[in-house]
Amino acid sequence: MKKEFDITGMTCAACSSRIERVVRKVEGVREASVNLAAERMAVDAENNAVFSAVITAVERAGFGAAERKKNAAGLDKNARKVRSMKTKLTLAACFSVPLFYLAMGPMIGLPVPGLFDDPLIYAFTQMVLAIGTMIVGWKFYAVGYSALFRGSPNMDSLIAVGTTASFGYSIYSLFRIANGNHHAAHELYFESVGVIITLILLGKTLETISKGKTSQAIKSLMKLVPATTFVLRDGMELEVPTSKLLAEDVLILKPGSRVPADGTVLSGNSAIDESMLTGESLPVDKGEGCRVFAGSINQSGTLQVKIDRMGEDTALGSMIRMVEDAQGSKAPIARLADVVSGYFVPAVMLIALIAAAAWKISGQSWGFCLSILVSVLVIACPCALGLATPTAIMVGIGKGAEYGILFKNGEAVEELHRISTVVLDKTGTLTAGKPILTDLIPAEGMDRTQLLTLAAAAERPSEHPLGRSILEAAKDFDLPDPEEFEAAVGRGVIAKVNGKKILVGNARMMAESGISFAVFPMEQLEKEGKTPIYIAINGKPAGIAAVADTLKADSGAAVRMLQAQGVQVVMLTGDARRTAEAIAKEAGITEIRAEVLPGDKAAVIKELQASGQKVAMVGDGINDAPALATADVGIAIGSGTDIAIESADVVLMHSELSAVPTAMELSRRTIRNIRQNLFWAFAYNTLGIPVAAGLLYLFGGPLLNPMIGAAAMSLSSVSVLTNALRLKRFKPKGE
């Protein structure tokens, strides 16, 4: 069984790697995955009892773990964290700015009060300001040294050791000043301590703000639920907070109000805008017995609605949960960074000690060696490495949600960009999924409107889908009621309308009645994949209606977009080959697998995979479940109120097929962004550490100041986050 936990106390990728290692050692744990950016851990364990041991293991490692909180709590937590970081940054700046001015001002000719001409007062004041900054950043020391003593140093350990070394050496210089050695005032490093802590707090603050932006999709979805709503209780209309709704409440939906919960209309008529769920821009008419969904907007009349589902159980709630689950998951591409991060911090500490020792052996001063040690420690933080993948995944998944594309996990995002073949189910995916009247051919001398009126009137009591398509085509007509009606099972209907005997049915019915339709163009209709419906009046042929499951408006364009991306498109259907060929030709698909039984669809997917193809299956998510599960990526398409999320990796909330090429394009952009982030994170550390160790100085170049190293470290994390946030500007081609 699986469970998710909120993790506190993580500061870098070394922390997340450490937690994964200790949790995987817990008996009964099958797998553990920690997402640094989302501050969340997913654990797969043998039974529920294991999870308490998991929490204990995390706490022993020096971190906090609690069962994952609900959406709102998580978002509030991030807002509180941003406020806390801003407060700490402001306090640290209040100490470090005067400290930096006092330390560096005299060197560049800036005015400094005469009081500080006394070297002891000068040094003592710097010490007090540095201590103030260290108190503000106390967590770096508490967490850093705790991790160090446990044998698993992290980013905080690097900062803690580096600034402590600078502070300790400065205290030594202060004692030398007190003993009369005024030249020791040139060997104070208090300003490095203050400025390093402040710059790192600045980077952490910007990082926290950026992380909050990655959850914008969830915030947007949550805003669709109104804060208050009107209900009917004891015959009285009351306005109550949505969070206080009761299962037995009857909602009163007024024009312009958002629906707070899923429910069934008890009374009233209105039009509801459900575009946030279905992508359908036109409002949907609602009356008694119709269902309404949380987040949609009531546009015209007033409705009374009985609540069916509330909160996380609504269709909107399932959307939010899917986005949040996916953002907390880890993509396979993140494993490289995880492996590196686990060994990175100990290696950096070793490099820092070796570099400082080497410079001391070469004859450099203790102050010079200290500068080398601190520079290496503070520039080499693996934050950028740990944030490279999860931030891009979070933004990419959030952006997908804006377009009604719900990735179930990070692996789906990564896998989708490798797809070389997309297999499309026909009915309900390429086509609308219901028959509509496409042709009406009246016999010679028969009026077209009269023919449709009589045929629709005859079909009025019928429940057959083909008959309903004729009735739908005549919905604006004033139809008479049939005087007589008989359903001929498997053949059609027989009715008496305005004194005329009407037969509406298939070829078998007409043959049994001895009525010939030889003069009508049957072959052409069949070639186009249409189903003919024969209409006879008073024993004579009156005309033919043709119905077909027609191509969706955007299907042809979607197929062309996929082909333009270099993807092979295959249509898979159980329909007759002639019907399949007609639809495929209209959609621009050349490869067809027709007359395939539902149980055999998965075999077709396996056949394509065996030929070396990476296959995505697009279907309705119910009949195509085996094929969806077999494909490298299963994509369920349909309205957001009836989605089969169990067998699919990606769920398209809207019914438009154009979301498929959009999802593939977004996947490619996200993976490209991750690769950019990983490249720069690795490149930064590969170049930064030798420079900090004094490589340039060895060949006559400059020596890296520890403060510049701290600024560079902070900016590396911010740059990775900023690059990931560029995905928020993603727009599908052609939009």
Which positions are catalytic?
Answer: 425
Burial class for 504, CB neighbours closer than 10 Å (0-12, 13-18, 19+): buried
Give the H/E segment covering residue 64.
strand 64-67
Residue pair 493/458 in contact (Cβ under 8 Å)? The answer is yes
Distance, in Å, from the CA atom of 663 to the CA atom of 660, rounded to the nearest integer, reads: 5
Distance, in Å, from the CA atom of 311 to the CA atom of 261, rounded to the nearest integer, reads: 7
Q: What pairs with residue 298 in β-bridges?
A: 272
Distance, in Å, from the CA atom of 327 to the CA atom of 283, rounded to the nearest integer, reads: 31
Residue pair 77/40 in contact (Cβ under 8 Å)? The answer is no
Q: How far is CA 499 from the centre of its chain?
A: 62
Report the relative pairing of strands 2-8 and 40-45 from DSSP bridges: antiparallel
Closest CA to 332 of 393, 398, 419, 384: 393
Q: Is 250 helix (H, G, I), strand (E, B) or coil?
A: strand
Spell out the long-range contacts of 222-230 with Cβ–Cβ below 8 A and sequence spacing 24 or more: 222/71, 222/72, 222/75, 222/320, 224/258, 224/276, 224/294, 224/295, 224/316, 225/258, 225/260, 225/294, 225/295, 225/316, 226/257, 226/258, 226/260, 229/257, 229/260, 230/254, 230/257
The C-alpha torsion from 219 through 224 and 227 to 229, rounded to 10°, is -170
Distance, in Å, from the CA atom of 373 to the CA atom of 694, rounded to the nearest integer, reads: 10
Residue pair 341/420 in contact (Cβ under 8 Å)? The answer is no
Question: Secondary structure of 307-334 in the HEC alphabet?
Answer: EEECHHHCHHHHHHHHHHHHHCCCCHHH
Burial class for 128, CB neighbours closer than 10 Å (0-12, 13-18, 19+): exposed
Question: From edge to edge, which strands make up the β-sheet containing 291-292?
Answer: 236-241, 228-233, 250-253, 303-309, 262-267, 291-292
Residue pair 276/315 in contact (Cβ under 8 Å)? The answer is no
Distance, in Å, from the CA atom of 258 to the CA atom of 314, rounded to the nearest integer, reads: 14
Distance, in Å, from the CA atom of 525 to the CA atom of 532, rounded to the nearest integer, reads: 7
Provide φ and ψ at 158, rounded to 5°: -60, -45
